[in-house]
Amino acid sequence: MGWFLVRGWAFLVYLFMFLPVAVVVLLSFNASQFGSFPMTGVSLRWFAELFSNEAILRAFRTSFILGLCTAMISTVLGVLASMALVRYKVPGRAVISMLLIAPILIPEVVLAVALLLFLNFLSLNKSFGMLLMGHVVFTLPFVVLVVQARLVAIKREYEEAALSLGANPVQTFFQITLPLMAPAIFAGMLFAFTISFDDITGTLFWKPGGVETVPTQIFAMLRNSISPEINALGTVMILLTVGLPLLGAAIARRMAGKINT
Amino acid sequence: MGTVTLENVSKRFGGFTAVHPTSLHIPEGSFLTLLGPSGCGKTTTLRMIAGLLDPSDGEIFIKGKSVNNLPIYKRNLGIVFQNYALFPHKTIFENIAFGLKYRGVSKQETARRVRDVLDLVQLPHVADRYPKALSGGQQQRIALARAIVIEPDVLLLDEPLSALDANLREDMRVELKRIQHQIGITTVFVTHDQSEALAMSDEIVVMSAGRIEQQGQPEAVYNTPATEFVARFLGASNVLPATTQVMAAEDIQVETNHFGRLVLPRKRAPQIEGEGRSQLIVRAEKVHVEPAGQTMDGAISVPGRIEAVDYQGQAVRYFVRVGDTQLQALNMIKEHPFEEGAEVSVNVRGWDCTLLPEAAA
Ligand SMILES: Nc1ncnc2c1ncn2[C@@H]1O[C@H](COP(=O)(O)OP(=O)(O)OP(=O)(O)O)[C@@H](O)[C@H]1O
Ligand SMILES: [Mg+2]
């Protein structure tokens, strides 16, 4: 009886969380003028309209470029930081590790304001570069966590064997360590991309005037009216931010399966 | 091929000394084993030779040249790790060819050498597989192949057989020795298994707590242990208190509590310089247990009683009570082993024993 209640509650909680999402997806196919029930028919009209809306397309492009750049930079930095922390006994490892992870623990608003104040202090203007920098700061911890966990699990002997066979440390890194880390690097990159793509809080603070990412664009649109286009946009976002990591996880699993250390 | 020389090499980890100053010379083409219990510093010593650890003090020479400042990837060594460390994302061919790539060996030559070395380790058909598709014993052979295909100056092996099961281990022991002999490579082998060491080595270095206890050929180390530690570590030994009484030109007479007066050849007591207290080492297989009343030529016979029997198939180990001491005896079984509680005669011959000064204990 007790367990039945617990299960019932859990079910309700999930329902409460996912029902709105389901409603958005459902309504995005609604043929009606208004972005709400009742459904008057199934159509792709709002998707068509979405893809002819210049502002939204621009926002998509911005988000993509921002996400890609963030993923690239975060991954490179994250891999380097992980190598330094795990493989080389840099002094103050614990502290550096803490600082790298900290952006996850600090509320994003605080982080956003802090970075803004810092740049003001340096009297720099808001720019795409600064937005990118912000995204890198708070996606880096995820990359570091994922890559570090993997690196710890890769036995030193593989690298030592490569060195003993005549590969220098750089060759060893590219021939042995990097390929063995690849699944984690790939996963970290996807994490960074989706987190950047999804982000709104930091982006609102950091973006220069006139630049919109998809989330800030939705936000802006919502302030005027609730167009059914937003439902369609939401559906696309859900597809991207849920689908990409799932796809990535599947690919990473296959890669790991082949390597299987 | 090359010699390896250690001059007063030591290693400290913080305040702990893992290897005390050690000097060692490994001649060209010979097979030297570092033997000792867990934690005695074997791996540490090997890793210093490999260049995976920097010595705290002292100097290491390979082929007569100091390598203290030479990084591992320039030392031209072949290393076989305990868990093989085959690159999991590369095929067997790529694994073996890995070292050749950094030596500017042509594609054709690489293919030929990989084929040859796969023949040498008797696995000609696995080139296209990944390591995880091989059994432990096969992976072991590939690890060896990868290490020797680069024609290293020295081959370093850290407990390479310990991950294999008992039967395979004995096969690989013979195999490894055959290959080493065939290519004549200077080899340093680390193990805590005395039978491996005795079977494979040209020279054994017995280590304990970061120090060399004894160095010598297997037979010498086995038959003439220099310390009580070595006597006890290599096979089962009985250690009995004794008193050296008469030193003649050829022989030494000792008095023991259990076997009375025994006569040993002097070469069995190289460290004994005068009369006085000493220790008599009697290997378990040199304690012969016979039916009560029976004696053996040239042996001192004393009565004893079997306290425990450890049956091993072709041999049997007895724990025999003689006076106030329990002795171990390892005997071949002639017909049936004695049973627990049997009254027997215990026989020891003087020339089978080794005499150590008491201080060496
Ligand atoms: N990196 C290290 N830091 C501190 N102590 C170490 C380190 N490496 C080894 N030691 C210590 O040095 C001693 C010798 O270690 P070593 O690995 O050489 O032993 P071993 O003879 O190879 O033993 P085993 O048979 O268990 O492999 C041990 O007491 C070990 O705890
Ligand atoms: Mg060891």
What span, in angstroms and rounded, lies between the C-alpha atoms of B152 and B139?
20
Tell me the CATH number of domain B236-357, given options 3.40.50.11060, 3.10.290.10, 2.40.50.140, 3.20.20.70: 2.40.50.140
HSE-CB of B278 using CA atoms within 13 angstroms: 28
Q: What is the DSSP letter of A208?
A: P
**Ligand number with the minimum distance to the CA of B47:** 1
Residue in A157, A172, A258 nearest the CB of B83: A157
Say which residue the tokens 């649109």 belong to.
A221
User: Using a CB-CB distance cutoff of 8 angstroms, which residues of chain A are in contact with residue B102?
Assistant: 165-167, 171
- The 10s digit of each residue's pLDDT in B92-120 is 999 999 999 999 899 999 999 999 999 88
- Residue A198: predicted pLDDT: 85
Q: Ligand 2 center to residue A113 CA distance, Å?
A: 53
What span, in angstroms and rounded, lies between the C-alpha atoms of B45 and B60?
11
Phi-psi region of B313 (alpha: psi -120 to 50; beta: other; left: phi over 0): left
Report the range of poorest mean pLDDT among A254-258, B27-31, B32-36.
A254-258
Residue in chain B nearest A259 by alpha carbon: B89
Mean pLDDT of B41-63: 93
- Residue A259: predicted pLDDT: 62
CATH 3.40.1180.10 fits A54-260, yes or no: no
Q: Cβ A164–B79 below 8 Å, yes or no?
A: yes
Q: Ligand 1 center to residue B164 CA distance, Å?
A: 22
CB-based contact A163:B81 (threshold 8 Å): no
HSE-CB of B88 using CA atoms within 13 angstroms: 19
Encoded tokens for B133: 């598709």
Phi-psi region of A41 (alpha: psi -120 to 50; beta: other; left: phi over 0): left
- Write down the domain spans for chain A: 1-43, 54-260
- The 10s digit of each residue's pLDDT in B156-166 is 999 888 878 88
In chain A, which stretches have pLDDT less than 70?
1, 31, 33-36, 39, 226, 257-261
What whole-number percentage of chain B has pLDDT above 90?
A: 44
Is B286 close to ligand 1, i.e. is its CB under 6 Å away? no
- Residue B361: predicted pLDDT: 45
pLDDT-based confidence at residue B191 (cuts at 50, 70, 90): very high
Q: Cβ B81–A160 below 8 Å, yes or no?
A: yes
The answer to whether residue B249 scores a pLDDT higher than 80 is: no
DSSP3 helix / strand / coil % (chain B, rounded to 5): 30, 40, 35
- Residue A89: predicted pLDDT: 77
User: CA-CA-CA-CA torsion for B99, B30, B230, B38, nearest 10 degrees?
Assistant: 0
Quickly name the fold that domain B4-225 has. Answer: Rossmann fold (3.40.50)
Q: Output the pTM of the full model.
A: 0.81
What span, in angstroms and rounded, lies between the C-alpha atoms of B41 and B172?
25
How high is the ipTM of this complex? 0.82
The closest residue, in CA terms, to atom 24 on ligand 1 is: B38
Q: What is the DSSP letter of A170?
A: H
What span, in angstroms and rounded, lies between the C-alpha atoms of B292 and B109?
70
- Write down the domain spans for chain B: 4-225, 236-357
Q: Ligand 2 center to residue A172 CA distance, Å?
A: 24
Minimum distance, in Å, between the CA of residue B240 and any CA atom of chain A: 45
Q: Tell me which residue of B78, B270, B74, B89 sits closest to B187, measured CA to CA.
A: B78
- The 10s digit of each residue's pLDDT in A29-78 is 776 766 667 767 777 777 777 777 788 888 888 899 999 999 999 999 99
Q: Cβ A155–B102 below 8 Å, yes or no?
A: no
Mean pLDDT of B179-183: 88
Q: Cβ A261–B88 below 8 Å, yes or no?
A: yes
- Residue A5: predicted pLDDT: 83
Burial B112-149 (b: 16+ CB within 10 A, else e): ebbeebbebbebeebbeebbeebeebbbbbbbbbbbbb
pLDDT-based confidence at residue B85 (cuts at 50, 70, 90): very high
CB-based contact A225:A208 (threshold 8 Å): no
Mean pLDDT of B29-57: 93
Name the phi and psi angles at A46, rounded to 5.
-70, -30
Distances from the Cα of A247 to the Cα of A230, A244, B312, B316, angstroms: 25, 5, 59, 64
The answer to whether residue B360 scores a pLDDT higher than 50 is: no
Question: Which of the pair, B203 or B1, is modelled with greater confidence?
Answer: B203
